[in-house]
Amino acid sequence: MAFAFPVWLAVQEELLGNGDSDSGSVSCFDEFDDEALFRMFHLNRPCIAFILDATRIRMKTAALKKSTLSLDEMVMVTLNYYAHGASSTSILQRVGQTQSDCLAIISIISGVIAGMSDQFISFPLAHDAKCKVAFKTEKLCGIPNVLGVLAAAHFRIRASPYEDTFRSFVNSWGYTSVVSQIICDSDGNVLSVEKCCLGRTFEQELWESSFKGREMEEEIHGPYWVIGGKGYNLSKHVLTPLSEPANDSETRFNEAHTKIHDVMQTTLCCMKKRFRCLMQLGFAQESSLNKKSNIIKACSVLHNIAKKFSVPPLSVAGKIEPLHQGKARSEPEINPEALKARQELIKAKFLNVSSSRIPQSERITENV
Ligand SMILES: *[C@@H]1O[C@H](CO)[C@@H](O)[C@H](O)[C@H]1NC(C)=O
Ligand SMILES: *[C@@H]1O[C@H](CO)[C@@H](O)[C@H](O)[C@H]1NC(C)=O
Ligand SMILES: *[C@@H]1O[C@H](CO)[C@@H](O)[C@H](O)[C@H]1NC(C)=O
């Protein structure tokens, strides 16, 4: 992210206003001990207090007046749903609401937290910030001028096979999903999340129609790459692996590419473990994609905040959907200019074993 932690906190503090009479007051979260808190919400106390404050200043008073619950109760219901993909019985009893009442609450709070993405999900814009992100990435994998890792993240949904739109939710792997475009940095912070499309949408299509895709391809972000899987077209700004590496240099490049690309897989795994709701977003219709989009964005915001507060990752057993990559594009379609740029990069950085070998101590940096 653009800011170092202390700076980032200071910014938030200023934003929240120091004299806010509400912050630090008693909340329904105080009823949980630390262990129960983590079990119910997969977050720790300082992190939840921060989320509560940030939500409080964003929440329109009008929406609160309509609700029978207080803001902290609404946030509690929502965070509990995110963590488990359903509301816990004890939470339902505590707030005296049914599972379906809660859906309305979750929808309101998800909208508010998703709206915080302008603060907590920041693509590096300033020159310094870009250099910093690129430097860290190069240190990890040896590839220079990379701003992030790009992927089309699929989230399972339920769809009725009797609906006309059913087929459009079925993705290339045969299950129903919605798909969002996510970019993360080499530390697994989410730098951008946009779109929420029908599962059958291809990643290249997402990229070309996304704001970030257009900005990058129009050179607004300068001569930088994002790392893309083999489902993307190689372009001057999307760096894909070689489908058939012909020699050691190319093999070394592909290994470096895999190493940085794996960060996305780790990041999505981490998000889906902390926020189990992302494993199954419930029923969807084409007309209700906004709500799904808000939940995906909100969880991305909370993921970044949880990282800032160093909340431990969840060690949940069970399978997490691997990050599927689309089918490889056939090489002849590739833009010759982009091909040349990739070849030059390989020549400059992966020609000699010594120049691409990263010291062992720096290799194990990703904490799962
Ligand atoms: C590796 O193969 C590519 C493609 O055939 C070629 O352009 C490049 O010069 C080769 N590099 C080395 C070190 O042989
Ligand atoms: C990118 O991929 C699409 C879909 O496969 C293809 O039609 C198009 O020609 C490709 N674009 C470039 C610039 O190679
Ligand atoms: C690679 O090694 C050769 C021979 O040892 C050397 O001449 C060349 O400058 C090196 N290239 C890079 C990019 O380090």
Query: β-strands 177-184, 238-239: how paired?
Result: unpaired
- Asked if residues 71 and 51 have their Cβ atoms less than 8 Å apart, the reply is no
State the pLDDT at residue 9.
55
Q: Is the CB of 355 under 6 A from ligand 3?
A: yes
- Confidence band (pLDDT; 50, 70, 90) for 101? confident
Alpha carbons 193 and 183: distance in angstroms, whole number: 7
**Per the structure block, which two tokens stand in for 311?**
């909340």
pLDDT, residue 331, reads: 54
Question: Average model confidence (pLDDT) for the chain?
Answer: 87
339 lines ligand 2 (CB under 6 A): no
358-367 long-range contacts, CB within 8 A, separation 24+:
358/139, 358/140, 358/141, 358/142, 362/139, 362/140, 365/140, 366/140, 366/188, 366/262, 366/263, 366/266, 367/313
How confident is the model over 223-241, as a mean pLDDT?
Answer: 95
Q: Extract the tokens encoding 34.
A: 């630390």
pTM: 0.87
How high is the pLDDT of residue 26? 78
What is the CA(353)–ligand 3 centre distance, in A? 10
Helices (H), the chain: 5-16, 34-41, 45-58, 61-66, 71-84, 89-95, 99-114, 117-120, 127-141, 166-169, 203-209, 211-217, 248-274, 289-308, 336-350, 353-356, 360-363
CA 302, 304, 310, 314 torsion: positive or negative? positive
- Looking at the chain, the whole-number percentage of residues with pLDDT higher than 90 is 73
User: What is the average per-residue pLDDT within 179-190?
Assistant: 97
- The pLDDT tens digits of the residues spanning 295-341 come to 999 999 999 999 999 999 988 666 666 777 776 655 556 789 999 99
How many angstroms separate the Cα of 207 from the Cα of each of 217, 228, 335?
10, 10, 16
Say yes or no to pLDDT of 61 above 90: no
Q: Enumerate the domain spans of the chain.
A: 5-119, 124-363
Choose between 359 and 235: higher pLDDT: 235
Segment 202-206 shows an average pLDDT of 95
The Å distance, Cα 352 to ligand 3 centre, comes to 6
Question: Does residue 204's CB lie within 6 angstroms of at least one atom of ligand 2?
Answer: yes
Phi, psi of 32 (to 5 degrees): -100, 140
Residue 166: CB atoms within 10 Å: 12
Q: Is residue 168 over pLDDT 60?
A: yes
214 near 237, Cβ under 8 Å?
A: no
**Is it the case that residue 20 has pLDDT exceeding 50?**
no
Looking at residue 363, what is its pLDDT?
A: 45
How far apart (Å, rounded) are the C-alpha atoms in residues 125 and 149? 16
> In ligand 1, which atom is closest to the CA atom of 249?
13
- Where residue 205 falls (left for φ over 0; alpha for ψ -120 to 50; beta otherwise) is alpha
What is the mean predicted confidence (pLDDT) over 54-74? 83
**Atom 6, ligand 3: residue with shortest CA distance:** 352
Q: Residue 263: pLDDT above 60?
A: yes
CB 365 less than 6 A from any atom of ligand 3: no
Nearest CA, atom 5, ligand 1: 246
CA distances to 63, 169, 271, 339 from 155, rounded to whole Å, are 29, 11, 11, 32
* 233 CA: nearest ligand 2 atom: 1
